[in-house]
Structures are given as structure tokens and as C-alpha cells.
Amino acid sequence: MDLELRDKKKTLGPKRLLHSFKYAIEGLLYAFKKEQNMIIHIFITMVVVVGGILLNISSMEWLVCFLFIGLVIGTELMNTSIEAVVDLACPEENPLAKIAKDTAAASVMVFALTSVVVGVMIFLPKLLDLLK
């Protein structure tokens, strides 16, 4: 697609805004249906929400939890899009394609592991207090 054609498609207005939400929801649904790790992230999100309710975490702790949930899920979506673009641009095996896909996956892993550390810092003291 050339720039002129792309610019014509980029007209502003409520119809375009509604379409952008529709496309975003389609992308989210695709990831939920096709990406195994997204199912894991959603399951862990549910565990965190139930745990937060049961352990009565503070507003600031909720803020931190939801920030990291958003970062992990958002990064997983970016990883999915990077993988799709790499597959489109380079359907055969290629060392550079592997680097792109592996580093995108690593970014999800970094946020997920950081989220685990943050979750332990928030929930472990509350669980230990509960066990006393």
C-alpha cells in the first residue's frame, strides 16, 4: 500500500473510531482463542483478583497489580503481532526472524517474572499474617 492510499484510509471521524475499537477487540479475541500463554495470563489474573479480594489488598496494591496485569497482557499482544509480521515477511526459517520472535517472547517473560516478584511482595506478607 502506498502512502497516498494509506492517508486516504486515515480519515478522522466517529465511524473510524468505532472501527478501531472493533479491530482492537478482534485482536484481543484472536489472542484469547489462539495464544496458549494468553490463557495462562488470564487465569493468573483471575487468581490475583480473587486473592486481592480475599486478602483485602490496599488501593495502591490494586494499582500495582493492575499495572502489571496490563503490562503482561499488552506485551503478550505485542509479541503475537510481532510473530505474525515476522511470519508474513519471512515465512521460511531465518536467523534474524528467530531473533525477532525470541526477543519479543523474552519481553513477555521479563514482565511476567517481574510480576511474579511484585505479586510475592504484595501477597506473601498477607498470606503469612493469615497463617499466624
The residues carrying an active-site annotation are 76
DSSP 114-129: HHHHHHHHHHHHHHHH
79 touches 104 (CB < 8 A) = yes
Locate 104 and state its grid cell.
Answer: 519479543
C-alpha distance from residue 1 to each of 21, 85, 86 (Å) = 22, 15, 18
